[in-house]
């Protein structure tokens, strides 16, 4: 058994089988450099979780990650939720390269979530974008990836699986344009209905938060604005996660 309170100094606790498996898979695929200090499990659940623990033990051995039984009560102490299932990963920071015309995916589908104020909404959006085949996300210098454990839970691990780049937002959009990406912003004014919009790759989709929307600096760089058509008169906007879902799967449809 082991108490990791001395070794673990910050910054991320990933909780539950889904989030931890996603991180391990991302590490094996080389899309995530987050250090994993250790994966800990609750000894009282060994029999019930035998299959899951066997899988995790083997995956950790491949990556040379310590896999240990936690001291009683330690997992509840470090976990922020109650859905951890008796398994947590104590992790370090993940480094995000600044996007350039050279390191962005070729002929890809990227997304920038601009001005999101809620980490759950951010995580839900990433879950949908990953499922829709998004090749990577662009992050501002201040972003919700600092709440890695929470975002990983909300995104069902997609936040750890998605390639991600971080830097000044305007500079990042310009890098995408230099790499040949067209930039489509979700919006209403002077917008093309999404089923008539050209959303072929390479494409950078920009979706704003419900309160602040897309910043003027980013809007000025967009090549087109695309809107989601409603089934009835409704003055409200969709949540960022819902808008990213609808538009993300339309991008997938047009490129399939």
- Structural domain contains residue 1: no
Residue with tokens 């029999």: 47
Check: CB of residue 246 under 8 Å from CB of residue 238: yes
- The number of folded domains in the chain is 2
For residue 6, how many other CB atoms are within 10 A of its CB? 6
> Do residues 27 and 150 both lie within one domain?
no
Report pLDDT for 81: 74
Q: Report, as an integer, the average pLDDT of 72-92.
A: 89
Average pLDDT of the segment spanning 35-54? 90
Distance separating alpha carbons of residues 181 and 42, to the nearest angstrom: 47
Q: Does the pLDDT of residue 9 top 50, yes or no?
A: no
CA–CA separation, 238 vs 247, rounded Å? Answer: 11
pLDDT at 34: 95
Per-residue pLDDT averaged across 171-186, rounded? 97
Same-domain check for residues 113 and 234? yes
pLDDT digits (tens, 9 = 90+) for 206-235: 999 876 779 888 999 999 999 999 999 998
Range of the domain at 185: 109-254
């Amino acid at each position: 058994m082991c108490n990791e309170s001395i070794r673990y100094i910050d910054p991320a606790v990933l909780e539950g089988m889904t989030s931890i498996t996603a991180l391990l898979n991302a590490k094996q695929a080389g899309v995530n450099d987050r250090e994993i200090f250790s994966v800990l499990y609750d000894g009282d659940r060994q029999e019930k979780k035998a299959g899951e623990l066997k899988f995790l033990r083997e995956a950790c051995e491949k990556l040379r990650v310590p896999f240990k039984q936690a001291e009683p009560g330690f997992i509840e102490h470090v976990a922020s939720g109650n859905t951890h299932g008796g398994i947590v990963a104590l992790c370090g920071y993940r480094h995000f390269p600044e996007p350039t015309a050279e390191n962005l995916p070729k002929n890809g589908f990227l997304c920038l979530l601009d001005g999101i104020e809620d980490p759950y909404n951010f995580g839900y959006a990433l879950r949908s974008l990953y499922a829709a085949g998004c090749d990577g996300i662009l992050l501002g210098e201040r972003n919700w990836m600092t709440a890695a454990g929470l975002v990983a839970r909300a995104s069902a691990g997609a936040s750890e699986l998605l390639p991600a780049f971080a830097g000044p937002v305007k500079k990042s959009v310009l890098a995408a344009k230099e790499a040949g990406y067209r930039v489509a912003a979700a919006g209403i004014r002077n917008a093309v209905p999404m089923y008539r919009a050209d959303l072929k790759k390479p494409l950078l989709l920009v979706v704003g938060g419900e309160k602040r929307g897309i910043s003027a600096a980013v809007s000025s760089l967009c090549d087109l604005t695309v809107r989601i058509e409603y089934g009835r008169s409704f003055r409200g906007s969709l949540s960022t996660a819902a808008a990213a879902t609808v538009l993300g799967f339309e991008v997938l449809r047009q490129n399939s």
